[in-house]
Amino acid sequence: MFGLLKKMFGAKPAETIKLPYYDIVCPYCFSKFHHEDVVFRASHHRDDDEALALQEDEVLNKYRAKFGLAPIDELEAVINPATIPQENKIYTNNVLMGVSDKYSEVTKNRLCPSCHNELPITAGKYPSNIISVVGATSVGKSVYITSLIHTLQRVTASNFNAACIPLNNSISRRFRDEYEVPLFENGNLFESTAKEKRQEPFIFQFVFKDEDRAPLTLVFFDVAGEGMTSKEYLQLHASHIKNSAGILFLVDPMQIRAIREKLLHQMGENPGKIVGLADEPREVVVSLFEDFIAHQENSKTDIPTAIVLTKSDLLSALSSEDGEYIRSNSNVFRNVTHRGFLNLDEFDNINGEIRRFLAKVDTPFVDAVDVYFRDTSYFAVSALGSNPVGQQVNGIISPVRVDEPFVWLLYKLGFIEGRHEQ
């Protein structure tokens, strides 16, 4: 009888369900590759075997030289899995995660085949969602990145039942010692990132406590702003932008000619920290177009892009009751915290207001964005909450809406929901 029922209802023998795997984007050099193409760092070394002796890793040292980092003299050998028999390869959820060498020593230390940096444990198991930050010189990328990571770790992650964790201890120490402590504890601003100073990216993971939800890898590349309009420099980092899942495009109101002089006049004799007039936002868009957007289908990019007006506290000098530029009771000056989901009412308000503002004061920029980007939204943030005087922040740093563009990207990438208020 049971056999008859099996035939009637088409029951099949149990099959092993293969879980999906994803191409990997290296968070260090941004090359893209199949998970089977990783290489491994040996877990031991042997003086009696040249292939497994300690040796210089020329590929890794070449990467380090790009960022002015000292070479590493000797490391364990790199193992190419193509030299390992199939039965000695270790898979987890259909992803190559380790190999056993000819001495039966196992290594699970996966490296990028292009730069030999260690890959995140989640690489290949989930999509490599990387967020990049672009903008012209002096737009405040270093300060914004610092304020954003600080806020993600202390506020945002908890609001979304997650944790924002540096990829390794080296990144954790570098971020804290060189960025977070100087700014948030000592109130010191950073000098503009010099074009010749190439910093390794800051890599964090936004990891949800629900194990069924994929983590998001955050790669913050503090690229010198003037490099964003230098073709040679942009090409060096083009793959970083091209392989991103989302873009934070920063715009400084002081670099918009139509309002710069008015802002300076309204701010009086002590205007605080003022940047020189550099590349206008449209010029950065044109540089991005020339280098990679032009090669996309229909010469547009589908990468969700948050247009982020920085230093929004400066706009108080333009505010008025009639709202010629911006109203005194504008959403720009009110901090908003998104908890568990993107509040679509708050998002719609700020998106509409900042788009209208930028369309009025910098029409060429908004037109260029509309032409080259398919999926954009507009935001206003203040990384500090006030305009610093000289290189010093006075008082307590109180970021305003600093994480909202990131929360929108979480929504666009399917990590969280968006809801209207009841």
Give percent of the chain with pLDDT exceeding 70: 78
Walk me through the domains of the chain, giving residue ranges and CATH numbers. Answer: 24-111 (no CATH), 130-419 (3.40.50.300)
- Quick: pLDDT tens for 188-240: 877 655 444 556 788 898 999 988 888 888 887 655 545 545 555 555 566 77
At 272 the pLDDT is 47
What distance in Å separates the CA atoms of residue 390 and residue 137, rounded to the nearest whole number? 18
- Quick: pLDDT tens for 127-179: 888 888 887 666 678 889 999 999 999 999 999 999 999 988 989 999 999 89
Query: What are the structure tokens assigned to 381, written together?
Result: 């943030």
- H/E stretch holding 320 reads strand 319-320
Average pLDDT, the chain: 82
Mean pLDDT of 349-371: 91
Amino acid type, 53: A
At 294 the pLDDT is 58
Mean pLDDT of 113-121: 94
* Least confident piece of the model among 128-137, 248-257, 272-281, 377-386: 272-281
Indicate left, alpha or beta for 390 from its phi (over 0: left) and psi (-120 to 50: alpha): left
- Quick: pLDDT tens for 294-333: 566 677 888 999 999 998 888 887 877 776 778 888 889 9
Task: Compare 60 and 311 and report the one with higher pLDDT.
Answer: 60
* Under 8 Å between Cβ of 334 and 315: no
What distance in Å separates the CA atoms of residue 252 and residue 416, rounded to the nearest whole number? 29
* Under 8 Å between Cβ of 116 and 124: no
Going by pLDDT thresholds of 50, 70 and 90, the confidence category of residue 92 is very high
Going by pLDDT thresholds of 50, 70 and 90, the confidence category of residue 56 is very high
Going by pLDDT thresholds of 50, 70 and 90, the confidence category of residue 8 is very low
At 10 the pLDDT is 42
At 74 the pLDDT is 94
Return contacts of 278-281, CB within 8 angstroms, 24+ apart.
Answer: 278/136, 278/137, 278/138, 278/225, 278/226, 279/136, 279/137, 279/225, 279/226, 279/228, 279/229, 279/255, 280/136, 280/255, 280/256, 280/362, 280/365, 281/135, 281/136, 281/251, 281/255, 281/256, 281/362, 281/365
* Least confident piece of the model among 36-45, 159-168, 338-347, 384-393: 384-393
At 30 the pLDDT is 83
Q: Which residues contact residue 232 at a Cβ distance below 8 angstroms, ignoring those fewer than 6 apart?
A: none
